[in-house]
Structure 1
Amino acid sequence: MIRVLLVDDQPLLLSGFSLILSTEPDLEVVGTAADGQQAVAAVTELAPDVVLMDVQMPLLDGIEATRQVVAGSRAKVVMLTTFDRDDYLFDALQAGASGFLLKNADPDDLVAGVRAVAEGHALLAPEVTRRVIEAGRHAPADVDERRLAPLTAREREVLSLVAAGLSNGEIASRLVLGEATVKTHVSNVLSKLQLRDRVQAVVLAYESGLVRPHR
């Protein structure tokens, strides 16, 4: 059972999200919060697996609340917003969010997103990632070898494919490797570069110049 905490200052949205998620047999809405301060306290009290976090809220916004939740718990945070704004997305990733969804996403996408993040996957389309990197930071002219130095040649190759949005299965097919081997390489990349998850790996791949944005 995946435990979910809903955080939004609009009661109607909380009710709607709760209704959608509660109909799923493997999802349990364990609580709701109306602002960032309540969210941080609720995470400590309820220990959810996934937090659906609004961006704009009173008292403490979703970005800072995400930063505190990630620092103080094992919960994964999916940011929710009505605005398709690059700065929100980039700030959310920097704060430690594992995913990003617009509030007008289809119910099926919401449910699938919660499951994906709970399983440790990033909820971020590669085209969105490229847009964020372009808007937030310019890719370096040369590859930053210092940041990538801990990686073997194979691990660098795997990282570049992760940044391209490929799943472990797709990477295995591309490199003619077993999926278990790919999982090991991904785990080694995260460990060596001290990254929390695949979202951070994607951002680092672009920031270091290993992968370049395509317009």
Structure 2
Amino acid sequence: MVSLALVDDHPLLIEGIVSLLSRADGFEILSTGSSARDIIDISSRLHPDVIIVDLSMAGDVFAAIATSIKLSPNTKVVAFTAATGVDSAIRALDAGANGYVLKGSNAQELIHAVESVRQGETYITQNFASQVIAALRNAPLRRVAAEVVQFSIREDQIVRLLLRGRTNKEIAISLKISEKTVRNYMTILMQKLNARNRLEVVIAAQALSEQEHIRSAEIQPRQPRLLS
């Protein structure tokens, strides 16, 4: 059962989403709110698995997202918003959001986003994702592609699987390690690639692969390619 909370200052929208998710299998609604402050309060008190938040509410929502994650590290955040600007999406992801779903999306996409972030993925509305990725490619992240990055054998294996679209659970099964170990390696990869989230790890790894700057720290002078 996935525990959820919703924070949006539109009562009718909250009512509709609560009704939708309550009818879907595997979800439990813990609480609702209507301001940035409520994001922090609900996360710190109830520690839901996933909290769905609007970006256009009273208070600094982006700061609230960052604070809530510090107070409840296991809570995943999905921004559910009408803001179609790439800058808003990048700010939300930079603050720690794991998902970004536009309010024009259908109900099934919101459910899929919740399920994806719960599994450790980053989810962005499909028709909008390409714009966000393009913006990230032009961000300071690009400078990583000019560097030589050393990966251990295990890190290299995980990056290869990431580039094939594997989830944390699938990577764990494939490599016969725990999901917790995969998450630990993801943290290391984020540090090495100067990435803020899983999506940026993939983008940086793709850039490195294209320019052949990746080296294995444990097998020299091996020069592995990430894409098979």
- Return the TM-score normalized by structure 1: 0.77
The answer on 1:133 being equivalent to 2:136 is yes
Shift of 1:115: 1.7
Tell me if structure 2 keeps the 8 A contact 1:129–1:203: no
Runs of 4 or more consecutive aligned structure 1 residues displaced over 6 Å after TM superposition: 182-185
Change (3 A) 1:68 1:138: closer
RMSD: 3.1
For 2:189, the equivalent position in structure 1 comes to 193
- Unmatched 5+ stretches in structure 1: 173-177
Summarize deviations over 1:37-87 as a string: whole Å, max 9, x none: 0121122222211000111111232x1111011111021101111122111
Change (3 A) 1:48 1:135: same
CA distance in 1, matches of 2:103, 2:32: 16
For 1:159, the equivalent position in structure 2 comes to 159
Within a 5 Å distance, the mapping from 1:33-182 to structure 2 comes to 33-61=33-61, 63-73=62-72, 74-124=74-124, 127-134=130-137, 136-137=139-140, 139-140=142-143, 142-145=145-148, 148-149=149-150, 151-152=151-152, 155-156=155-156, 158-159=158-159, 162=162, 164=163, 166-168=165-167, 179-181=174-176
- Unmatched 5+ stretches in structure 2: 211-228
Tell me if structure 1 keeps the 8 A contact 2:122–2:198: no
- Return the TM-score normalized by structure 2: 0.73
Summarize deviations over 1:141-185 as a string: whole Å, max 9, x none: 84333xx33x225634642652x461249x97xxxxx72448778
How many pairs are equivalent? 200
Tell me if structure 1 keeps the 8 A contact 2:190–2:197: no
Percent identity, aligned pairs only? 23
Tell me which of 172, 197, 202 is aligned to 2:199.
Answer: 202
Give the number of the structure whose alpha-carbon radius of gyration is greater: 2
Change (3 A) 1:199 1:26: farther
One-letter amino acid matched to 2:208: L
Change (3 A) 1:186 1:211: farther
